[in-house]
Structures are given as structure tokens and as C-alpha cells.
Amino acid sequence: MEIWHTMIAPWLATAGYIALCVALFSFAIAFHEFGHFVAARALGLRVERFSIGFGPAIWKWRRGGIEYRISWIFLGGYVSIPDVDPEGTKMLEGEDAGKRVQIPAWKELVVAVAGPLMNILLAVALAFILAAVPQARFGEHGTEIAGFTPPSVLGPSPAEQAGMKPGDRVLAVGGNRVATWQEMLTEVQIADTRPTKFLVERDGAQIELEITPRREPVSGACMIGAVSMPNETGSAAWMPSRNPLRQLAWDAGTIFRVLKGLTSKREMKATGKALGGPVMIAEEIYNSVRRNFWDGIGFLRFLNVNLAVFNLLPIPVLDGGLILFALIALVFRRRVPEKVIGALSTCFMVLLMGLMALLMYRDVARSWRIHARARTLAVQEAQGEGAQDDQNTQGEGAAAQLPEDADGLGD
């Protein structure tokens, strides 16, 4: 029984959580592709394949002339529609794309919009479901400062050195208003290590402080060395309110803030450094589900809004690229040449896959550093406990640990 409780049961629990995370992520992708699938079938277009994932098939079956498959690489999915093929999936799978039959531009537009629309509809449904679940935890985590990290974490706290005091409430960072701790975290990451103006409220008066964040070497996050007040609701950052509209507004606001940073010459580099890829998304889903199942559903809601917005960007190889080409055909009564579309799609496919590989490498390297640090701290803590036992008899001892508050800026 001891082996079961100490080894087998925890392993099975972890495996179960991982399987649930894969299922949730795959569900979001499948719902997006189902939108393309339903629209294409309704318009009488030829559909060859519906796949969750890329690469070789784990399992596949054929029905009604359509191949359905689950593939090994769980980084997305696709519907193969030969006369539309908005994602260049034939080329991605190493197959001949063949000759494309030209269909009316409005049909291309409907098929392209249907995928992101399904993600939005799913996000709305999840927001209303969460609002009706009593066990779901909601609440905004404010920006009041409780204290500062010890020097062993980041060196002297930049916030404390700049004159910030416990009890201060941060109102704006770099001229951008913030109402929650997560919004402040986002602005600090975008500020990078530049001197940045912080507007704080202290005893009813507003004070402006200039703080220069520091980059924490293990996680790579920028920090000002401030610690938040306890999150009494226990809610996740993406669960600000039981009101479904406020949930969705938070999702959209967060995504558009990142897009704004990526299109700003001043903020582009820092925003790019803060971006995470599939590994970070998987970790966040995993941590959310382990913390609270409904937090995981809330993150799935946020992920669906993210997928919808990302796919609507006017980039060839994404749905937004097909929408752009279809609108050009409808407005100007002239199509973009197929060779141009093919060349742009191939080029952006390579760029996006390269970006994905880079983000995955950064995520894995960051996770490795964090886990290595955790193991080191565990060893140091064990040694410290041993030294504390010796202290009882020899009068000497030592201990080392990071603060337990997980809400320190930059976590």
C-alpha cells in the first residue's frame, strides 16, 4: 500500500491530468476545424480529410469519402478542402496540392470565417457555463503592494529602491492604466529593463515613481521585486468576474494588448521576449487543471478567444489571409494570382513553423532552468533541515529558500 500511495497513485494522477490537458487543447482545435468542415460541407465543397494534429496518423477511418484521423503532432489540426486549402495543409503533409478549382470568393470567405467563429461561440458558451457553476472561483487580484522580495531573489528590490512602500496601489505602468495584478505583470514584461514610470496611490495622493525592472536569470521574466497582497478569492488571473461579458472582455483585452506591443516599435522586442509557445500553453493548462478543474475550463475559454484572434490576422496561411484574398476578389472583382498566393503561403508557412520551433525551444529551456532550480532548492532545504538538527547540539545551522508567495512580480 505504501508503494501505491507514494509512487503509483501520484504517477497515475499526473498521467490523468496530462491526458485531460491534451483532450482540452485538442477539443479547442477540433472545434475550430469543425467550423471549416461544416461550412465547406454546407456549401457543397469537396472535403478530403479532417485531422486533429499533424504528421503520421495514430488512428484513422474513412466515412462518406472523407478521411478522419488523429495524428501524432498535437500542435493544431486541419481540414483538407482542395478548392480552398487556406492553411496549405497538403504542402505541410508533404503531399501534392494538385490543381485548385476556383470557387466563388464569398464561399472562400464563409469557410475561412467559420473556424474562428466556432472558437468565439465556444468561448461564449464556456463563459456562461462558468458563470452558472457555484464551484468556479472568481475575483480580481488588485495591485496593492504587500512588501518586497528579499535580496536573495533579485538583489535589492528595484521597487523598494525607487521609493515604493507597502500599501501603495499601482494605478498605471508606463502610462497604461492597470486594475489587476496580472495587468501589471503584463506591463512590466513589456516595459522590459527600461526605466519606467509607475503611478501609485498612497494615502489618497497620487505619486509617480521611476522603476527599472530587472530580468530574473532563471525564468527570464522581468521583475520589480514587489509582492502582492494575498489573493483571498484563490481565483486565477483569467477569472476576473462571474459576469460572462467581463470574462470575455478580459480575454480580448489581454490578447489585443499583446498585439499592440508586437506592432509597436518601442515595445516589439520586449513583447516578443515575453511570448510563449505550445509548451507554455500546455504547462498553463496543466497547472490550471491541477489547481482547480474550473480554472482549466476558464483557461480553455481564454485559449479559444486567443485562437480566434490569432487566426483572423491577415497573414497568408492563416484564416485571416484567406479572408483578405477573398475580400480583395469581392471588392476589386479581381483575384490575387494563384502563384502569388502559393508563394506567400509557402513563405509564411516556413516563417510560422520556424517561429513555433523557436518558441518551443525557449519554453523548454525556461522550464528546464526552473525545474533545475527547484531541485537545487529542494536539496538546499534538505541540507538546511539537517543543519538545523545539528544546531540543536552544535549551535550552528543554515537554510535557504525562495519566498513562498507565488505572486511576486515576474512569476
CB 100 within 8 A of CB 345: no
Domain count for the chain, please give it. 1
Q: Give 12-28 pLDDT, tens digit per residue.
A: 777 777 777 777 887 88
Task: Judge whether 81 lies within some domain.
Answer: yes
Q: Give 120-174 pLDDT, tens digit per residue.
A: 999 999 999 999 999 999 998 999 999 998 887 677 899 999 999 999 999 999 9
Alpha-carbon span 136 to 101, nearest angstrom: 49
The DSSP line for 94-112 is: T----PPPP--HHHHHHHH
Q: Give 249-284 pLDDT, tens digit per residue.
A: 999 999 999 898 888 888 888 888 888 777 788 888
Task: Judge whether 155 lies within some domain.
Answer: no
Q: Give 379-396 pLDDT, tens digit per residue.
A: 877 776 544 443 332 332
Q: Give 28-55 pLDDT, tens digit per residue.
A: 888 899 999 999 999 999 898 998 887 8
Task: Judge whether 19 lies within some domain.
Answer: yes
Task: Judge whether 407 lies within some domain.
Answer: no
Count of Cβ atoms closer than 10 Å to residue 248 Cβ: 20
State residue 52's pLDDT score: 83
Tell me 194's DSSP state: S
Tell me, yes or no, if 33 is annotated catalytic.
yes
Residue 284 belongs to domain spanning = 1-138+238-336
Task: Judge whether 197 lies within some domain.
Answer: no
The active-site residue, picked from 2, 33, 160, 283, is: 33
Q: Which residues pair with 57 in a beta bridge?
A: 71
Alpha-carbon span 236 to 217, nearest angstrom: 25
CB 121 within 8 A of CB 113: no
Task: Judge whether 390 lies within some domain.
Answer: no
Task: Judge whether 410 lies within some domain.
Answer: no
Task: Count how many Cα atoms sit within 13 Å of the Cα of residue 77 in the half-sphere of its side chain.
Answer: 26
Task: Judge whether 29 lies within some domain.
Answer: yes
State residue 399's pLDDT score: 23
Q: What is the mean pLDDT of the chain?
A: 83
Q: Is the per-residue pLDDT at 375 higher than 50?
A: yes
